[in-house]
Amino acid sequence: MSETTLSQPQRNIVSRLWNDKETRSIIIQIIAFAAIFALFFYMVRNAVINLEAIGKDISFDFLWQPASYDISQSLVEYTSRSSHFTAMIVGIINTLLIAVFGILLSTVLGFLLGVLRLSKNWVTNKLAYVYIEYTRNVPVLLHILLIHGLIVHALPLPKNAINVSDAAFLTNRGFFLPSPEIQPLFWFVLALFVMGIIFSIWFRSYAKRVQDETGKYYPVFWISLSAIMGFPLIMYFLLGSPIDWQIPELKGFNYKGGMVIRPEFIALWIALSCYTAAFIGEIVRSGITAVSWGQTEAASALGVSRGRTLSLVVIPQALRIIIPPLTSQYLNITKNSSLAIAIGYMDIVATIGGISLNQTGREMECMTIVLLLYLTFSLLISAFMNWYNKRIKLTER
């Protein structure tokens, strides 16, 4: 009798907790998290047991052993006698180069395509449409192989290089450019450049505040351009051009000196940027069309030009729709850079996840490093885009 009396209130408490929507969601999340953690623990434990069975252990000591392979493009000092850790750093830098430059170029091309898709000019509209449909429906790997093949086979050999003002040379082995040798006085120019950027950020917010309060408009673009580029250039020439340039020279079968942009980097950068730009173009188009046409009509009634209407009225509102799917495209371009191994570009998959893995036989350790690196890149991009999305969202009064 006492057991029945005690169990009934307990059943009532459980029932009330389960019927409460917020409490039930917390319980389900806890159960799901526990199940995922248990599955992850089981997989790791199973892998450790299987590795011990074949005489292997989990160790990252191989990172300090000599890599014994060459890397064609490296922004840090690297030779075949460098460690696998240094090779991994080179791969990380190469991956970040592709990701950053790819995001910048694809964003510019994507916004341009999105605006062209809404053009009233029939030819312009259809050309943008054909490009988007063609690019999106062909695998990105084929784009990479096609552009790399065009660069390697269409461009001339070094002895017949395309000469640009006797300073730059375009060949099928890369784009050879003069490399700067910075003198001490150049740091004054760089300091002025940084100050120009800081001033432009402040002036942009100041101009917006003045425009909101009084309606007065400042030419923010031209003033910012003068602060960032104009004054540093004037200081650069006043100080006597404090940079020396090392010009590439043809020695033997290739150019020596200067700096080189490898065809693998160019092909991967162009292919990923053009491919992702097609998706961004559709995102931009849908974001712009989601803005009420009445906003454009109201701006026209006030005498605002079409360009100013697009930049001040339509785009700011469309960004709130564009940013969330745009984040996915930035993540895609970062992760698609792993296809670089198909054309010999040495990113983290080709270095620590490829040659280093094959040489050391440390497949678990190498793949763990690669997975964690891509996870870190993705989380950083998501965090930044989420911050920017919150910054531009509508704030209710």
CB 71 within 8 A of CB 90: yes
Q: How far apart are CA 345 and CA 265, in angstroms?
A: 7
Q: Kindly give, in sequence order, each residue whose CB lies less than 8 Å from that of residue 27, ignoring residues fewer than 6 positions away.
A: 17, 18
Which DSSP letter does residue 375 get?
Answer: H
Maximum pairwise Cα distance, the chain: 101
Q: What b/e sequence results for 154-185 when a residue is b if at least 16 CB atoms lie within 10 Å of its CB, and e otherwise?
A: ebeebeebeeeeeebbbbbbbbbbbeeeeeee
pLDDT over threshold 50, residue 1: no
Cα 44 to chain centroid, rounded: 31
Looking at per-residue confidence, does 14 or 384 come out higher?
A: 384
The structure tokens listed for 137 are 């429906």
Element (H, E) at 246: strand 243-246
Could you give the 3-state DSSP secondary structure of residue 218? coil
- Which whole number is the average pLDDT over 317-325? 87
Using alpha carbons, select from 110, 106, 112, 74 the residue that is nearest to residue 93.
Answer: 74
Question: How does pLDDT run across 337-352, given as a tens digit for each residue?
Answer: 999 888 888 889 999 9
* pLDDT more than 90, % of the chain: 27
Cα–Cα distance measured from residue 74 to residue 10, given in angstroms and rounded to the nearest whole number: 66
| β-bridge mates for residue 388, sequence order | none
Average pLDDT, the chain: 85
Q: Rounded to an integer, what distance in angstroms lies between the CA atom of residue 355 and that of residue 370?
A: 13
Rounded to an integer, what distance in angstroms lies between the CA atom of residue 341 and that of residue 351? 9
Distance between terminal CA atoms of the chain? 59
Range in 29-43, 50-64, 70-84 the model is least confident about: 50-64
> Residue 93: what pLDDT?
93
**pLDDT at residue 23 greater than cutoff 90:** no
What digits encode the pLDDT tens for the residues 236-282? 888 888 888 888 888 877 888 778 888 899 999 999 999 999 999 99
CA distance 162 to 183: 30
Question: What's the average model confidence in pLDDT over 208-219?
Answer: 81
Q: Contact, 79 vs 249, CB < 8 A?
A: no
Lowest mean pLDDT among 41-55, 119-133, 176-190: 41-55
φ/ψ of 73, rounded to 5, equals -120, 120
* 8 Å CB contact between 332 and 256: no
The pLDDT-based confidence of 17 (bands split at 50, 70, 90) is low
pLDDT classification of 2: cutoffs 50, 70, 90: very low
CB 318 within 8 A of CB 393: no
pLDDT single digits (tens) 109-145:
999 999 888 888 889 889 999 999 999 999 999 999 9
Tokens linked to 77: 């000092």
Give me 253's structure tokens: 């079968």
Q: How confident is the model at residue 8 (pLDDT cuts 50, 70, 90)?
A: low
Could you tell me the pTM of the whole model?
0.80
User: Between vectors from CA 276 to CA 270 and to CA 280, what angle results, nearest 5°?
Assistant: 130
Domain-wise residue ranges, the chain = 2-53, 84-143+262-392
> What is the arithmetic mean of pLDDT over 374-396?
85
CATH for the stretch 84-143+262-392: 1.10.3720.10
Between 8 and 252, name the one with better pLDDT.
252
Amino acid of residue 334: T
Question: How many whole angstroms separate alpha carbon 198 and alpha carbon 192?
Answer: 10
Residue type, 261: I
CA pair distance 158, 58, nearest whole angstrom: 47
